[in-house]
Amino acid sequence: MKKGAAVILIISFLFVLPSLSFAGNNEWAGKDKFLHFGVSGAITLLGYGVYKDGFGFSTRQAEVAAFLTTVAIGAVKELADDKFSWKDMAADTAGAGFAILVLRIKF
């Protein structure tokens, strides 16, 4: 992968780091939402690598496929929960979108 597994791991760690400290149980900024954001970001970054390097997708195709896969995984997870949470879905989508933005940064 162009940017390497180390970059993915560092960014994934940074996504989840806030959930370990100040977040509390706020409905929109609680630990759960930071975890949704971070895990979705990590899944998107890993998915991008699989689609780009594993399947030979173009950069744009890999970004779209990784984003949509991550959002679909989040939706399936929410449907499996006792109560569907649009706030969790928003955090999942934001994490996936942020990961795409990170991928577009030129190092």
Tokens of 41: 């970001």
Give tens-digit pLDDT for 19-75: 555 555 566 667 788 889 889 999 999 999 999 999 999 999 999 999 999 999 999
Residue 43 corresponds to which tokens in the numbers above? 């899944």
pTM: 0.78
Radius of gyration of the chain (CA): 14
- Indicate if the alpha-carbon torsion angle 46, 49, 52, 53 is positive or negative: negative
